[in-house]
């Protein structure tokens, strides 16, 4: 341990913080988009319209079958061309960040879709039966009766997935985006303090994720009572 | 978009002078992915089963060991764990041991680090499945075993584990699929597995789509094989009367 040199750490903090902001940006965007699009996918999957069911199932299966690293690389390859062709985002935008955001948003939607589907299916069937009998449409029954109960029950799972997602954002390393972890290793490579920087970033992730999952556990206990 | 498709490139010899084709590179990547994942899976099962059993024991201190293991390994991102094993550990070990590791052939370093890291990471997830499998067994079984005069070890050995391991086969399947996917992170420390080969193929052939599609198909092949294998195993091991059994 005495071989470690922590003197460079205070200097590194501003860079690490801006890296952390990138990490948080991707995390928040992926959670919001993932839950919204995931709910939509789950609703499609449980609907009675066959083509929609197939689409949702295919989307989820494809994204869940391949490593996140590969998905990130794919989007890093595809996005620049899509940007020019479709999205018309100004050329000054950071392609890496946009690629990562799109990749994470879609990837997480697939994972959230499965959690939400299970949550919806756990709501007793009589609930939707009663709602429909009261004259509600499928959408009304979903929005007013099923989803509120489902989301309450699966909140701990959704949060746990958010913690996993927060950790997974570190994989943007493979497309060279300077998130928290990549910033750490960049500084480590530059100053010859790779060991210290890797240890420090591991500690930061550990504290954040450990504290958050502890809170989720508390929430779970409260909900179970 | 005017992309020039050229699938033939995969069969051409590589430009580095090695006696291989680009398809050969791809296959060696596939081999590394499968080899590392399978070796790591053995560690994951062994360590995960031990930790999972620890977590269900009445002795608080032993259970705490299992809990601490899971907390540590689940709250640090996999890529950071790879870097810790590969970069940090050799520096923190006694100097002779660290130097010995660094004197190994690079391939050996990549392999051993990847297998160890991936194995211990997955063990934490296996541990949770083992624990919930054992906890899912009716409480009366353990009590009945103890009442009959069996020791706690005998209760586990003859009553809980023979049933418990069959319950956890389905959730373990998804961990087995995950270990292949997670092995892609090993590319970040330099192991030339499938996803690393994807990038190398792009760099050398300048045919990104062919390279990526080929690698994606290879992952698909792994997925299908694993699912086929595990479906067979699930069928073989399913317990009549339990959830999911036919």
pLDDT in tens, A67-119: 999 999 999 988 887 776 776 666 667 788 989 999 999 999 999 999 999 99
Cβ contacts (< 8 Å) between A185 and chain B: which residues?
83
The verdict on a CB contact (< 8 Å) between B75 and A181 is: no
A171 → chain B, closest CA residue: B79
Question: Are B80 and A74 within 8 A, CB to CB?
Answer: no
% of chain B at pLDDT higher than 90: 63
Inspect the interface and report whether the beta carbons of A206 and B72 lie closer than 8 Å. yes
Which of the residues B76, B174, B194, B225 would you substitute to probe the A interface, choosing the one with the greatest number of A C-beta atoms within 10 Å? B76
Q: What pLDDT score was predicted for residue A139?
A: 86
- The confidence score (pLDDT) of residue A205 equals 97
ipTM for the assembly: 0.90
Q: Nearest by CB to A213, from B75, B184, B220: name it.
A: B75
Partner residue opposite A199 with nearest CB, options B88, B194, B199: B88
Query: Is B80 buried (19+), middle (13-18) or exposed (0-12) by CB count in 10 A?
Result: buried
Answer yes or no: do A205 and B76 touch at CB < 8 A. Answer: yes
Do B71 and A181 make contact, defined as CB atoms within 8 angstroms? no
Q: Cα–Cα distance between B131 and B126 in angstroms, integer?
A: 9
Q: What does the pLDDT read at residue A23?
A: 96
Contacts of B182 in chain A (CB under 8 A): 67
Going by C-alpha positions, the residue among A148, A54, A62 that lies closest to residue A110 is: A62
The Cα of A71 is separated from the nearest Cα of chain B by a number of Å equal to 9
Average pLDDT over residues B197-220: 91
| B78, B84, B199 ranked by CB distance to A198: nearest | B84
Confidence of residue B246 (pLDDT cuts 50, 70, 90): very low
Q: What is the mean predicted confidence (pLDDT) over A31-57?
A: 94
| Phi and psi, residue B89, nearest 5° | -60, -45
CB contacts of A187 in chain B (<8 Å) are none
| pLDDT in the model for residue B205 | 87
pLDDT at B245 over 70: no
Q: How far apart are CA B246 and CA B240, in angstroms?
A: 7
Chain A CB contacts of B185 below 8 Å: 67, 69, 171
pLDDT tier for residue B242 given thresholds of 50, 70 and 90: low
Lowest mean pLDDT of A30-34, A143-147, B92-96, name the range: B92-96
d(CA B147, CA B139): 13
Run of H or E including A212 = helix A194-224
B77 and A205 within 8 Å at the Cβ level: the answer is yes
Overall average pLDDT of the A172-181 stretch: 94
Q: How many CB pairs under 8 A join A and B?
A: 96
Taking an 8 Å cut-off on Cβ atoms, the answer to whether A209 and B188 are in contact is no
Asked whether the beta carbons of residue B188 and residue A173 sit closer than 8 angstroms, the reply is: yes
CA distances from B67 to B44, B72, B126 (A): 16, 9, 13
Q: Tell me the average pLDDT of chain A.
A: 91
Query: Which of A19, A58, A73 would you mutate first to test chain B, the one with the most B CBs within 10 A?
Result: A73
In a mutagenesis test of the A interface, which of B34, B36, B37, B77 is the best target, namely the one with the most A β-carbons within 10 Å?
Answer: B77
Within 8 A of A220 by CB-CB distance, chain B residues are none
Which range has the worst mean pLDDT, A34-38, A139-143, B36-40? Answer: A139-143
Q: Which residue of B has its CA nearest to A72?
A: B195
Lowest mean pLDDT across A179-183, B6-10, B57-61: B6-10
pLDDT for residue B111 is more than 60? yes
Residue A3 reports pLDDT greater than 90: no
A1 pLDDT higher than 80 = no
Interface test with A, best of B34, B75, B94, B189 (most A CBs within 10 A): B75
pLDDT confidence of residue B1? 55
Q: Which pLDDT tens digit goes with each residue over B56-78?
A: 999 999 999 999 999 999 999 99
CA distance to partner chain A, nearest, from residue B92 (Å): 6
Residue A225 pLDDT:
56
- Hey, are the CB atoms on B79 and A181 less than 8 Å from each other? yes
Residue-wise burial string across B178-209, b where 16 or more C-beta atoms lie within 10 A, e elsewhere: bbbbbbbbbbbbebbbbbbbbbbbbeebebbe
Residue B79 to residue A65, Cβ atoms within 8 A: no
The pTM assigned to this predicted structure is 0.91
DSSP structure class, residue B13: B
**pLDDT over 70 percentage in chain B:** 97
Mean pLDDT is lowest, of B10-24, B31-45, B102-116, for B10-24
pLDDT at A91: 66
Retrieve residue A198's tokens: 């890797």
């Amino acid at each position: 341990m005495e071989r470690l040199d922590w003197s460079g750490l205070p200097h590194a903090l501003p860079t690490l913080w801006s890296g952390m902001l990138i990490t948080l940006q991707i995390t928040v965007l992926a959670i919001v988009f993932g839950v919204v699009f995931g709910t939509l996918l789950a609703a499609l999957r449980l609907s009675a319209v066959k083509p929609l069911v197939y689409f949702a199932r295919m989307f989820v299966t494809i994204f869940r079958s391949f490593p996140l690293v590969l998905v990130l690389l794919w989007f890093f390859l595809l996005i620049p061309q899509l940007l020019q062709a479709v999205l018309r985002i100004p050329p000054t935008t950071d392609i890496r960040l946009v690629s990562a955001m799109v990749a994470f948003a879609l990837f997480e939607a697939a994972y959230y879709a499965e959690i939400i589907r299970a949550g919806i299916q756990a709501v007793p069937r009589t609930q939707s039966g009663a709602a429909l009998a009261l004259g509600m449409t499928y959408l009304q029954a979903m929005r007013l009766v099923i989803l509120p109960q489902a989301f309450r029950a699966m909140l701990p799972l959704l949060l746990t997935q958010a913690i996993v997602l927060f950790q997974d954002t570190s994989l943007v390393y493979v497309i060279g985006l300077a998130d928290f972890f990549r910033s750490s290793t960049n500084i480590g490579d530059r100053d010859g303090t790779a060991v210290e920087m890797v240890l420090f970033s591991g500690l930061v992730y550990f504290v954040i994720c450990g504290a958050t999952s502890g809170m989720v556990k508390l929430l779970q206990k409260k909900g179970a009572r | 978009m005017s992309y020039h498709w050229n699938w033939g490139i995969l069969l051409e010899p590589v430009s580095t002078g090695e006696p291989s084709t680009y398809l050969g590179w791809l296959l060696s990547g596939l081999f590394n992915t499968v080899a590392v994942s399978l070796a790591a899976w053995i560690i994951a099962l062994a360590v995960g089963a031990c930790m999972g059993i620890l977590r269900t024991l009445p002795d608080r201190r032993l259970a705490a060991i299992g809990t601490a293991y899971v907390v540590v390994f689940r709250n640090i991102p996999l890529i950071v764990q790879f870097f810790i094993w590969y970069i940090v550990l050799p520096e923190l070990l006694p100097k002779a041991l660290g130097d010995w590791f660094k004197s190994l052939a690079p391939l050996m370093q990549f392999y051993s680090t990847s297998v160890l890291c991936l194995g211990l990471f997955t063990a934490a997830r296996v541990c949770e499945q083992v624990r919930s499998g054992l906890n899912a067994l009716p409480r009366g079984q353990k009590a009945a075993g103890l009442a009959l005069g069996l020791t706690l070890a005998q209760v586990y050995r003859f009553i809980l584990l023979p049933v418990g391991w069959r319950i956890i086969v389905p959730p373990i399947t998804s961990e087995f699929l995950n270990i292949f996917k997670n092995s892609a992170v090993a590319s970040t420390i330099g192991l030339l597995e499938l996803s690393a080969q994807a990038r190398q193929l792009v760099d050398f052939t300048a045919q990104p789509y062919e390279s990526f599609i080929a690698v994606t198909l290879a992952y698909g092949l792994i997925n299908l094989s694993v699912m086929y294998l595990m479906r067979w195993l699930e069928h073989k091991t399913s317990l009549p009367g339990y959830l999911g059994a036919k």
